[in-house]
Amino acid sequence: MKEMNWFERTIRKILSNRGFLSLLATFIAIIIGLIIGLVIMLIAKPQNAFAGIEYLFGRWLSTATPTRIGTWLHYSTSLIVLGLSVAFAFKTGLFNIGATGQYTVGLFAALYVGMAWTGLGQFQWLVGILIAGLAGAFWGFFPGFFKSRFKVHEVISSIMFNYIGMYLVNFLITNVRNGSGELMLFDSSFGRTFVVPSSSYVPTTFFGIDLRAIFPGSDIDIGFIIAILLALLVFFILYKTKFGFELRACGYNRHAAQYSGVNENRSITLSMIISGALAGIGGGLFILASRAGNVGNIYKTVDVLLPEGFNGISVALLALSHPIGIILAGLFISFIQRGGFFMQTLIKNEIADVIVAFIIYASAISLIFQTRISNWLLKQRTEKKKEPKT
């Protein structure tokens, strides 16, 4: 075999780096998704298609930039937290498709605290979000327990708990009454809950730093910072603790993990509880967020699952479940969705979700190319080792 020059060697070295390969695969997936999106836009509205792509790529940021950046960061908050929720379960080999149900249950819990526990003063939002996390954990417990105890597949059971949770929340909202027998949460004239009072909103200043001063007029609050901190916490738990190592061992090969003394059933249940807690916190951060004009501080009792949990799946898949990657993936998907929001006059904003879905499909496929490249490299290396003997 002829001697490789330095260029070839460097290329090979870079190509055999797993992290680089994952990034490359994700990048290719994003390009494929955007091309498919462009084709769909060309079919649907040829005169606006290229302007649409420009908008998605960030032309929406060219006016009112600080405000729009702040609002973009705000909307990526729930995507990041839900992405963490799904990814945490993924790392244990579980597919928590029930994040949207845990999110809804958490949202309800925070809504209740925000309306009822007014005596807590400036800690009301914090208690609300903690209770939301507990409610989400409670809702994530069931699929995890059923999986470990009865071997019921978590995909089916957690989907069922999505619907059960949604109907239960609708039932509670339309039935919880205060001492004098009036509906406490439900505003029957609008078919939705009352607006959560602003005294229970998540603050906008973080240790003296006023986020609204940096991004004036935007919807940002410290929920975004909490999301980043949660990502770091999840990274720490998964990669720096024995507990996290056990969870990941279950995800890689649960038989081997069990053989080496990991309690698999305990790991499955705990993983779903933590995953649910994260999703619940996401719900709390959303309903108690301080937005301009109180948009989103209400819950509509329609029989439709909230889309946020499914976006969380997209985030986790795009980031290949890495906690730090999830921050980037959440920001990216939120970026596309905000672009879709601002280009509604050009083309209907569902195109953003279509593009994201195709990116996820492409990244599911591109994992295969990734393994093929590394297999090919491995083969080359073993052949090279064999060669001197012959």
Partner 1 sequence: MNWLDIVILMLNAMFLFTTPLLITAIGGMFSEKSGVVNIALEGIMIFGSFCSILFISTMQNAFPNINPTLLLVLAIFVAVIAGVILSTLLAFSAVNLKANQVIGGTAINLMAAPIVIFTARMINPNGVRTIQFSNNFNISKVPLLGDIPIIGEIFFQNTTLLTYVSIFIVILAVIIIYKTRFGLRLSSVGEHPGAADSVGINVYKMRWSGVLISGALAGLGGLAFTIASSVSFEGRVDGYGFLALAVMIFGQWKPLRILLASLFFGFMSALAYKYQLIPGLEAFSLSYLIKSLPYVATIVALIMTSKKTRVPKASGTPYDQGSR
At 190 the three-state DSSP class reads: coil
Nearer to partner 1, 286 or 310 (CB): 310
Nearer to partner 1, 213 or 302 (CB): 302
In angstroms, give the least distance from the CB of 164 to partner 1.
5
Contact window for partner 1 (CB under 8 A) among 106-114, 124-132, 149-157, 260-268: 149-157
Residue 264 binds to partner 1 (criterion: CB under 8 A): no
Contact window for partner 1 (CB under 8 A) among 150-158, 290-298, 323-331, 380-388: 150-158
Q: Which residues, listed in sequence order, are joined to residue 300 by a DSSP beta bridge? A: 192
Residue 248 binds to partner 1 (criterion: CB under 8 A): no
Please list, in sequence order, all residues whose beta carbon lies within 8 angstroms of the beta carbon of residue 83, skipping any fewer than 6 positions away.
312, 314, 315, 316, 319, 326, 329, 330
**Dist CA 95 CA 85 (whole Å):** 10
* Contact track, partner 1, 307-346, x by CB under 8 A: ---x--xx--x-----------------------------
- Asked whether 376 and 385 are in contact (CB, 8 A), the reply is no
Nearer to partner 1, 60 or 146 (CB): 146
DSSP H helical segments within the chain, as ranges? 6-15, 18-44, 49-56, 65-91, 99-116, 124-150, 154-173, 211-214, 223-240, 242-252, 254-259, 264-287, 308-318, 323-342, 350-386
Q: Which residues, listed in sequence order, are joined to residue 193 by a DSSP beta bridge? A: 186
In angstroms, give the least distance from the CB of 91 to partner 1.
15
Residue 358 binds to partner 1 (criterion: CB under 8 A): yes
Query: What is the three-state SS of 83-126?
Result: HHHHHHHHHCCCCCCCHHHHHHHHHHHHHHHHHHCHHHHHHHHH
Site for partner 1 in 37-66 (CB under 8 A): 40, 44-45
- Please, is 92 exposed, middle or buried when counting C-beta atoms within 10 Å of its C-beta (0-12, 13-18, 19+)? buried
DSSP assigned state of 180: T
Residue 236 binds to partner 1 (criterion: CB under 8 A): no
Residue 8 binds to partner 1 (criterion: CB under 8 A): no
Residue 242 binds to partner 1 (criterion: CB under 8 A): no
DSSP assigned state of 260: T
Residue 32 binds to partner 1 (criterion: CB under 8 A): no
Site for partner 1 in 115-144 (CB under 8 A): 142
Give me 342's structure tokens: 């601002």
Residue 373 binds to partner 1 (criterion: CB under 8 A): no
Residue 225 binds to partner 1 (criterion: CB under 8 A): no
Nearer to partner 1, 1 or 43 (CB): 43
Site residues, partner 1 (CB under 8 A): 40, 44-45, 95, 97, 142, 146, 150-153, 155-157, 159-164, 167-168, 170-171, 174-175, 303-305, 310, 313-314, 317, 348, 350-351, 353-354, 356-358, 360-361, 364-365, 367-368
